[in-house]
Every structure is written in structure tokens, then in C-alpha cells.
Amino acid sequence: MKIFLSIFTLLLITGCNYFTYTLYIYPDKNNLDNVLEYPNYSSLDECRAGARSLLRKYPNGDYICGRGCEFKNGFYICKEKFR
């Protein structure tokens, strides 16, 4: 029961988006002001696969997979970021 309450409290505090990944594609890695957001990947591997697929359209692009992300003060802030 304590574990259930702990998980429930964590969900309330962090929001459900902590358990999903958001893919951020930068079509031009030299211009990080231009970013495309693709939310709701269920795993890091799925997010990376999505990045590989989308980067075919943007050969000079880059990406970040983030977890626990929110848009705050004009920026995407993630609790964790992965490549």
C-alpha cells in the first residue's frame, strides 16, 4: 500500500509526462531556436527510432529525447535528456 501511495504522489507532483518521452528535432543543428516537438513516445528506444526516421528529412539536423518535459518561460525544460 505504501508503494502505491508513493507512486500516486509522484504522479501528482511530476505529472504523467514524466513516464513518456518527447522527441525534439532541430532541423538545423546550428540554429537551436528552430525546434519541432513530437511527444508521447513510450520508450527511449522508440524516441531514438523516431529521431533516426525524421532526421532523414533534415541531414543537417540533430535531436534530443527528453523525459519529464514542460514548456516554461519560452523554453522546453526536461528533467532528463538523452541522445
User: What does the pLDDT look like over 2-55, one tens digit per residue?
Assistant: 543 344 444 434 444 678 999 999 999 999 999 999 999 999 999 999 999 999
For the whole model, what pTM was predicted?
0.76
Q: Are 25 and 35 in contact (CB under 8 A)?
A: yes
Residue 4 falls inside a structural domain: no
Would you say residue 39 lies in a domain?
Answer: yes
pLDDT digits (tens, 9 = 90+) for 57-83: 999 999 999 999 988 888 889 999 999
Tell me which residue has cell 529525447: 65
In a domain, 74, yes or no: yes
Report the run of H or E that residue 12 belongs to, with start and end.
helix 2-14
Strands (E), the chain: 21-26, 36-41, 62-72, 75-82
DSSP state letter for 15: -
Residue 7, in any domain of the structure: no
- What pLDDT was estimated at residue 75? 82
Establish if 9 belongs to a structural domain. Answer: no
